[in-house]
Amino acid sequence: MKVGVTSVALEGSSKDQLVVIGEDVDSAKLTCVLGKKLCYASILTVEEVKPVEPEEPKKDKDTDEEESTCPPCPRFCEVVVYDRSPSYCFLK
């Protein structure tokens, strides 16, 4: 567990808002220190940042079925070929 400020960023249309993210940061003390250095500082919001949990991949219904242990039956294909120009020569 890391304690203290983890990131600082400037936000707002004119970059006049300071966003501080961290654990166990005393917001009142931070405001006083910034007020002394910048002549004015105020707290707009204080929020708890929750860690992002990775999403579990969704399982398809097709993958949950058990696979068959028997190999599939082979498929036999019939192809009928007709000769369009038959030879009329007969051998005896």
pLDDT digits (tens, 9 = 90+) for 4-21: 888 888 888 888 888 888
Tokens 């931070």 locate to 30
The pLDDT tens digits of the residues spanning 35-70 come to 888 888 888 888 887 777 888 877 665 555 566 678
Name residue 10's amino acid: L
How far apart are the C-alpha atoms of 38 and 52, rounded to whole Å?
34
Instruction: For residue 5, give both structure tokens.
Output: 């400020």
User: How far apart are alpha carbons 5 and 49 in whole angstroms?
Assistant: 13
C-alpha torsion sign, points 32, 38, 41, 47: negative
| Spatial contact of 3 and 23, defined as CB atoms under 8 Å apart | yes
